[in-house]
Every structure is written in structure tokens, then in C-alpha cells.
């Protein structure tokens, strides 16, 4: 395969950064363009320190800016589209989420057609498949189940529609007469060092005498380590560019998990942080059905108050369902089509994440000590 170039959107994010760190090791990769709305200074510095022959170009621009996207795609072979607004609490305005996740994806597809980009990989999410009810039990789900989220909440809806747009674009004609090939990856909940979600969990626990907030004690899920989720994207990029593998991948979606044990979200948080003295909340909690109906009541109150007051419930029905369902998936199809095997074991992932949590604990201690001086 001749020299190629890759654009990664959402490159300053948790997953995007890891994809770029892995991409620079790819053979014949001449340039990586890292696109995001804003990059933190430390992220730019990390990219500049990457030991590689591949040129890494940092681009700041809006996913809704069509001219910016056309410039970013010019001369690019592969687009890995990770940029998205992730919000399951209903904090961010609905239109903002729809604009970025759906309209932004559509604009990027158009830019690819105009710039003759031949391969497009979307980072989708397990949320496009559900769960639609906490009573739904999926322990070894696979692509042939044809599961689809029925939630109207902006995050699952926008990601579902974006994925449909990407897969429907497979086979469309580029401006130069070539063909666009697409696929989508649906990672489980992604954990690992530098996860903003995990960061908030840990900081919240440190401020609460080491007690971890209960986020999903009734769930059974199989989260995926960020390094393995990133590796699946690298293999998808290879696959779409390989004439032998490409036909079986085009227009397909894949669940991406690894060998992280099936467990609840709460048990995962505890497993990753217990070395530093963090512990689960042992106090009584509402039974799940009552918890769900409380969420429904709070959403109703929010809806009724909307004309006069913007009440933001602490949780909603979608979040309660998402956090407390039995919803786990196999990566066998990705294994068969992409040659995907997790490159990081559960023990390694746990150790790396725990070490990072350790740095957060130390920073918190230093901050508290400086306040008492």
C-alpha cells in the first residue's frame, strides 16, 4: 500500500489522543492531521514530542465549518471521525448535540466527497443499540441482533442518525470518480487514564472522604480500555485501505469490547481505584424500579417548569437505564473481519489506569495540604 495520510477529528479528546499515539507507528503514514475545536496546550506539547517520521499537523477548527473541513480533508486518504458531544445527563442544549454529532458528520462526509477521501471510519457508540429498558438483558450481544435505541434523547438519537448517514454513504462516488468506503465502530463504555468521566468520579470521591458515587450498581457490562478501542480504529483504517479485506468491512458496524471482566460500573470504578483507599458507598439505595420512576417524575417536573424555569434533574430515565442494565457485547465480528485482538490485557489496563488515579490522589493531597498551611 502506497504512502497515505489520515485526518483524526476530536483529536484532543480522550480517544482521539490515543488513536494519534498509535497511528504514528503505522508504516507509510506520511501525515496525520489532528483536528479539534480547541486543543489544551499540554496536548499540543504531547503531539510535538511524538517520536515519529510521520508529520503531525495540529488544526483548530469547528466541525460545522464546511470550508475548514474541506481544507482539512484536502490530500487525505483516511478520515477517523471521533469528534462528538457526549452528554447523557441532559446538560447541553439538544440543538448543540444534534448540530455537532449529526450535522457535523454530514458536513464531514460532504467534505470527503469533495476532497476525494476514500476511507471514512466513524466512532459510534454502544448507545445506538440501547439499552431501551433496564429489564432488557443482553449478555453476549452481536451485530446480527440488529438492536436499535428507541430513545429520543439527543445523544443516542444523534449518534444513531450519524451512524446511519455514514453507513449509507458507503459506495458513493467521489468528485474524481473514485468510491467512498465507510464503516462504524461501536465501543463499549471506554475507560483508562485521562478519562474525564473517571476523573470526575475520582475527584468526587476524594471530596467525599474516599466514597465513590454510585453510578450503576445494578449493571452488568463489559467496558473497553481506551488503548484497545484505539487499536480497533487503526485496524479499521488498515482494513478499508486493503483491497483484500475492504469488501467485507465496507458499510459495516462493529462492537468493540475487550477482555475486561463483565461487571457493574460501580465495581469497575472500585477495581480501578481501591489501591488508593477509595471505596464503594455501602449506604442504602433506592430499588431500581423506584429509582427509574423518580427519574421519570423529575423529568416531568422539568418539562412542566420549562416555560418559566430551566430545571435540570440530577438524573433522567435514559441515564438510569444506561447505567443499570445488563448490556454486554462480543467482539467476534471485529476479530473475524478486522483481525482485532485486544492489545492490552485487563490486568495491564487496570494497572495503567490505577497508576493514573494515584497521581490524582497525590495531587489532591498536595492541594489540601497547601490550603491548610
Residue 270 counted as domain residue = no
Higher pLDDT, 242 or 85: 85
DSSP 3-state of 313: coil
Q: Above 90 in pLDDT, residue 346?
A: yes
CA-wise closest residue to 13 among 116, 105, 84: 84
The model's confidence at residue 368, banded by pLDDT at 50, 70 and 90, is confident
How high does pLDDT run on average in the chain?
94
Helix (H) or strand (E) holding 6: strand 4-9
Residue 309 counted as domain residue = no
Tell me 213's DSSP state: P
Helices 265-273, 196-206: crossing angle, 10 deg rounding? 70
Residue 238 counted as domain residue = yes
Residue 304 counted as domain residue = no
| Model pLDDT, residue 215 | 80
Calpha distance 141→278 (Å, rounded): 32
Cβ–Cβ < 8 Å for 299, 319: no
| Model pLDDT, residue 294 | 95
Cβ–Cβ < 8 Å for 190, 226: yes
- By residue count, the chain amounts to 373
For the beta carbon of residue 288, count every other beta carbon within 10 angstroms. 17
Residue 268 counted as domain residue = no
Task: Give the mean pLDDT of 90-113.
Answer: 96
Task: Give the mean pLDDT of 212-220.
Answer: 91
Residue 187 counted as domain residue = yes
Residue 359 counted as domain residue = no
Calpha distance 188→44 (Å, rounded): 28
Q: How far apart are the first and last CA of the chain?
A: 61
Please state whether 210 falls in left (phi above 0), alpha (psi between -120 and 50) or beta: left
DSSP 3-state of 344: coil
List the 326-329 sheet strands across, edge first.
Answer: 137-141, 326-329, 220-221
Backbone angles phi, psi at 89, to 5 degrees: -100, -10
| Model pLDDT, residue 373 | 64
Instruction: Report pLDDT digits (tens) over 25-76.
Output: 998 999 999 999 999 999 999 998 887 889 999 999 999 999 999 999 999 9
Task: Give the mean pLDDT of 123-152.
Answer: 96
Q: Which residues sit opposite 35 in a β-bridge?
A: 9, 59
- Distance of CA 209 to CAs 41, 267, 280, Å? 32, 18, 11
Residue 350 counted as domain residue = no
Q: Which residues sit opposite 255 in a β-bridge?
A: 186
For the beta carbon of residue 29, count every other beta carbon within 10 angstroms. 20
Q: Above 80 in pLDDT, residue 154?
A: yes
Backbone angles phi, psi at 195, to 5 degrees: -70, 125
Task: Give the mean pLDDT of 229-248.
Answer: 92
* CA-atom Rg of the chain in angstroms: 21
Calpha distance 53→34 (Å, rounded): 16
- The domain total for the chain is 1
Calpha distance 327→146 (Å, rounded): 14
Q: Above 80 in pLDDT, residue 122?
A: yes
**Residue 47: which domain range?**
4-195+223-259+329-342
Task: Give the mean pLDDT of 167-173.
Answer: 97
* 129-138, 183-192, 283-292, range with the lowest pLDDT: 283-292
Calpha distance 273→266 (Å, rounded): 11
| Model pLDDT, residue 42 | 92
Cβ–Cβ < 8 Å for 60, 37: yes
Instruction: Report pLDDT digits (tens) over 4-16.
Output: 999 999 999 999 9
| Model pLDDT, residue 9 | 98
Calpha distance 126→119 (Å, rounded): 22
| Model pLDDT, residue 313 | 92
Tell me 172's DSSP state: P
| Model pLDDT, residue 247 | 85
Calpha distance 209→205 (Å, rounded): 6
Active site residues: 159
CATH number of the domain within which 169 lies:
3.40.50.720
DSSP 3-state of 57: strand
Calpha distance 199→260 (Å, rounded): 19
Amino acid at each position: 500500500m502506497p504512502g497515505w495520510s489520515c485526518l483524526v477529528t476530536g483529536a484532543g479528546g480522550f480517544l482521539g489522543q490515543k488513536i494519534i499515539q498509535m497511528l504514528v507507528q503505522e508504516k507509510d503514514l506520511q501525515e496525520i492531521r489532528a483536528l479539534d475545536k480547541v486543543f489544551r496546550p499540554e496536548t499540543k506539547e504531547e503531539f510535538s514530542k511524538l517520536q515519529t517520521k510521520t508529520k503531525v499537523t495540529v488544526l483548530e477548527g469547528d466541525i460545522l465549518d464546511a470550508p475548514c473541513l474541506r481544507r482539512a480533508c484536502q490530500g487525505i486518504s483516511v478520515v477517523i471521525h471521533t469528534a462528538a458531544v457526549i452528554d447523557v445527563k441532559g446538560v447541553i442544549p439538544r440543538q448543540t448535540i444534534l448540530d455537532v454529532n449529526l450535522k457535523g458528520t454530514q458536513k464531514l462526509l460532504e467534505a470527503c466527497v469533495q476532497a476525494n477521501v476514500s476511507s471514512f471510519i466513524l466512532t459510534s457508540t454502544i448507545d445506538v443499540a440501547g439499552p431501551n429498558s433496564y429489564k432488557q438483558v443482553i449478555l453476549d450481544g452481536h451485530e446480527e441482533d440488529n438492536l436499535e435505541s428507541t430513545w429520543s434523547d439527543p445523544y443516542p438519537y444523534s449518534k444513531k442518525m450519524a451512524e446511519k448517514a455514514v453507513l449509507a454513504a458507503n459506495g458513493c462516488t467521489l468528485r474524481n470518480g473514485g468510491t467512498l468506503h465507510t464503516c462504524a465502530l461501536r465501543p463499549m463504555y471506554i475507560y483508562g487514564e485521562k478519562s474525564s468521566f473517571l476523573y470526575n468520579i475520582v475527584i468526587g470521591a476524594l471530596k467525599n472522604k474516599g466514597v465513590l458515587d454510585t453510578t450503576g450498581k445494578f449493571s452488568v457490562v463489559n467496558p473497553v480500555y481506551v488503548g484497545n478501542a484505539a487499536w480497533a480504529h487503526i485496524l479499521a483504517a488498515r482494513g478499508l485501505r486493503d483491497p483484500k479485506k475492504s469488501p467485507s468491512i465496507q458499510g459495516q458496524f462493529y462492537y468493540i469490547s475487550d477482555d475486561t471482566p463483565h461487571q457493574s460500573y460501580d465495581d469497575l470504578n472500585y477495581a480501578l481505584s481501591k489501591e488508593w483507599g477509595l471505596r464503594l458507598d455501602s449506604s442504602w439505595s433506592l430499588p431500581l424500579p423506584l429509582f427509574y420512576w423518580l427519574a421519570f417524575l423529575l423529568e416531568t417536573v422539568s418539562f412542566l417548569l420549562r416555560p418559566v424555569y430551566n430545571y435540570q434533574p440530577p438524573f433522567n430515565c435514559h441515564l438510569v437505564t444506561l447505567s443499570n442494565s445488563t448490556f454486554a457485547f462480543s467482539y467476534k465480528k471485529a476479530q473475524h473481519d478486522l483481525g482485532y485482538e485486544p492489545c492490552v490485557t485487563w490486568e495491564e489496563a487496570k494497572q495503567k489506569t490505577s497508576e493514573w488515579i494515584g497521581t490524582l490522589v497525590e495531587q489532591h493531597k498536595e492541594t489540601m495540604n497547601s490550603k491548610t498551611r
